[in-house]
Amino acid sequence: MAAPPSDSEYLTGWGGHLESEALPGALPRAQNNPQVCPYGLVAEQLSGTAFTVPRSMNLRSWLYRIRPSVGHSPYTLAEPEGRLLADFSSAAAANCTAEPNQLRWGPIPLPPPDKPVDFIRGLETVAGAGDAARKDGVAIHVYAVNSSMNSRAAFSNADGDMLIVPQLGTLVLKTEFGSLTVPPRSVVVVPRGIKFNVALAAAGEGEGEGERGAEGAGARGYVLEIFKGHFTLPDLGPIGSNGLANPRDIKFPKAAYDDTEEATAEPWVLTHKYMGQLFEATAAHSPFNVVAWHGNYVPFLYCLEDFCCMNSVTYDHPDPSIYTVFTAPSDEPGTAVADFVIFPPRWMVQENTFRPPWYHVNVMSEYMGMIWGSYDAKVGFQPGGSSLHPCLTAHGPDAATFAAASAAALAPTHFNSGLAFMFETGAMLRVSRRALAARNLDVDYHKCWDGIPVLFDAARRDVEVEVEVPAEFAKRG
C-alpha cells in the first residue's frame, strides 16, 4: 500500500462538486459517458440517492475505472447475522432486546496478539433501531482490531453510511476514491456502497500519548451507521454563517489507483455487508482501479480539533445540540435520524450556573464514548468505554460531580482534560444480547448516582452549599 497522503494531498471544502484524476486528462470533458473514455477507461456511476430526488439532495459520483465493478464471482454467505445486526424489530428478539436501564461499558478489550483480527472481523453491534431492509433506522457498533486487512481485500456496506470514530490507533483507509489517514481525534465517513480497505498505521503514526496503535498492538473505536439518509453539516440558524464544523476543514481523497492483474496472484476478496449479513465474492482485478472521478458522493475526513465551539458566556448550560458536528436529518423537521456530537476542550464562563450537563430525561436516545481524558460529568468514564442512556431514562452527573459542581468557585475555567462524543438518535434502541453479556459491561453503573447530597432546606430559600467533595473526583484527571 502506498504511503498515506499528507494534508496537501487532500481535496477540501464541503458542499461542492469535486473532481480528481491520477492521470492528466483522465476525466472526460463535456460529458460523463463517452463512447470511449480517455486512456480506455470505463465509466461507472455510483448513486447514493434516487435519480429523481431534488437537485440539492442528489448524491452521485462518476468513476473512471480500468475495469467495471461487475467483474467478480457471485456473492456467497460468509457469516450469518449475529455479530453484526441490521434488523432491530421485535422479530429479531433472538439477537437484541429492549433495555430501559442506563448502561456503561469499560474500554473495549483488544484481541490477543496471537489472534489476528482485522476491521471486518473486529466489528460488533452494540445497539440499534429499525431495519436496514427498509432503509430506516440506525446501528451502533464498536471495533477492536490488531491486524490490517489483507492487502487484496475490500469491504463495502449496502446497509448504510458509516461514521468511524477511532479512539486508539490510526487507521489508513484505502477507498475507491483514494486514501484517507484517520488518527484518533478525527472521524471518517464512508457512504454506503463504497469499497474500502482498513490498515493499521505504522508504529508512531498515532495521535497523542496513549493513542498509538500499530500492527500487532491494536486499534479500537466506535461506528455510527445510518440506514436512512446521509450525513451532512447541521444548519447554523442564529449562529450565522460560521462556526461548529467549518466547511473548509472537511477533507476528501484524491484519485489513486491499482493496476495489478497478475494471472498468478491471489484473487481479491470482496466482503459485502447486506442486511446485517456478510457475503464474499472474489475478483481477479483490484476494486481500487479508479483512475479519475467527479461528483459529490465521496468519503470524507474531519479532524475534531478543528471544531469551533459555541457556548454560553452569560448563564445556563446550553443544549448539547450546540456541539453537533454532523447530522443525518429525518423526515420530521428538527429531528435527526442521528447526530454526531462532541464535547471538546472549551472555556466555561457561565455565571451562577451548574456547569456540568444538567440532569435530563430525554426523548432522544444517547450513546456516548470517550476518546481521551476524562468526562466533566462522570467519574470512571474511561477512554475506550461507552454508555447508553435510553429514550426517557433519567441520567446526568454522578454524585461526585454534583457535589463538586454545586460548591465550585465560578471563575472562568478552561476545560482541557478530555474529548467525549455522543451518537444521538430519535429512535428507541434495542441492545445487542452480545453487548449485554460482554465482560466489560459495568453492572454497577447505576450506583454512580448513589449518595447525591440533599441540599433542600424548606426554611431557607437561599442555600449556602457546603458539601464535601469526594476524593475520587479530584483524582479523575
Catalytic residues: 317
In degrees, rounded to 5, the angle at the alpha carbon of residue 301 between the alpha carbons of residues 129 and 347 is 85
How far does the chain reach from its first CA to its final CA, in angstroms? 39
Q: Is 240 left (phi over 0), alpha (psi -120 to 50) or beta?
A: left
User: In terms of residues, how long is the chain?
Assistant: 477
Specify the 3-state DSSP secondary structure of 106.
coil
The answer on whether 141 is annotated among ligand-binding residues is: no
Is 395 one of the annotated binding-site residues? yes
Q: How far apart are CA 404 and CA 474, in angstroms?
A: 9
What does DSSP say about strands 219-226 and 161-168: parallel, antiparallel, or unpaired?
Answer: antiparallel
288 near 172, Cβ under 8 Å?
no
In whole angstroms, give the CA distance from residue 213 to residue 100. Answer: 35
Cell of 346: 472549551
Handedness of CA 186, 383, 340, 324 (dihedral sign): negative
What are the Cα distances from residue 369, in Å, to 169, 259, 281, 290, 439? 16, 40, 34, 35, 17
Sign of the alpha-carbon dihedral angle for 394, 396, 398, 402: negative
Which amino acid, residue 190? Answer: V
Strands 268-274, 153-157: pairing is parallel
Do the strands 186-190 and 161-168 form a parallel or antiparallel pair, or are they unpaired? antiparallel
Cα→Cα distances 449→303, 379, 395, Å: 34, 11, 9
Q: Residue 360, annotated ligand binder?
A: yes
H or E segment and range at residue 181: strand 178-182
Q: Which residues of 200-211 are buried (b: 16+ CB within 10 A; e: fewer)?
A: bbeeebbbeeeb
Q: Distance (Å, rounded) from C-alpha 298 to C-alpha 302?
A: 13
The answer to whether 375 is annotated as binding is yes
Residues in the annotated binding site for homogentisate: 375, 395
Residues in the annotated binding site for Fe cation: 360, 366, 395
Residues in the annotated binding site: 360, 366, 375, 395
